[in-house]
Amino acid sequence: MNLKKIALSAVMQEQKQETVSLREIAYRAEKESAFQIKSDNTALTWFLLVINAVILLLMLFLEKKEEWIFLFGTQKYAVFELGQYYRLITCCFLHTDIMHFVQNGIYLYFFGTRTELLYGKIKMGIIYIISALGGSIFSAVCNDVISVGASGAIFGLIGAVLVYSRQNGKRNVGIHYTTIVLLVAIGLFAGLFQENVDYFGHIGGFVAGLISSFAVLKIKSDPQ
């Protein structure tokens, strides 16, 4: 059966192979990965998650939830009549309860990390702020109630991943743009049948995210 000869041949062949460390394997995998990254971490996404969580905990422990929502939530009269424009940003860091934060936090992590890796921290920050403002402004224009939450900015991040996926393909973002479109459609449609959902804030943030993403993609990338 020539088993001895086959075994000796296999041993000799193994000895000729290059010994590769786990670090080298990881490096090669990163080089061959279709997910082209712009930075080596997602610190900005985690920073946003922590800030939102800390503010929510302070609201609950200090029993200031209603007061802070009233003082810092976005609302048509307060913004456009009283000139309290800071509400357009502060409202994006407030949440009504833990479940509200958890729901937004899951989407912020999923699309925030992707946006940060694809665009870089500076461009993601620009997209996030513009999306937050777009969602807050559209919400204030179309609603009379006080609105809070990061969902407008998050829908902007979804728009950013959609734009990148549409231009570069599924292999670059790990999710196809048609899937993202479906997620957006479901999210917006579901908002029509749920109470206390800022439907207009979602639309405004998503549109602002699309526009700002197209704009920042035209900017020459800075080294990370």
Catalytic residues: 151, 202
Taking alpha carbons only, the member of 107, 103, 78 closest to residue 90 is 78
Q: How far apart are CA 49 and CA 108, in angstroms?
A: 8
Do the beta carbons of residue 157 and residue 128 sit within 8 Å? Answer: yes
Do the beta carbons of residue 94 and residue 59 sit within 8 Å? Answer: yes
Do the beta carbons of residue 91 and residue 204 sit within 8 Å? Answer: no
CA angle 24, 30, 36 (to 5 degrees): 160
**Three-state DSSP class for 101?**
helix
From the number of C-beta atoms within 10 Å of its C-beta (0-12, 13-18, 19+), residue 20 rates as: exposed
Do the beta carbons of residue 216 and residue 119 sit within 8 Å? Answer: yes
Backbone angles phi, psi at 75, to 5 degrees: -155, 140
- Give strand pairing partners of 74: 147
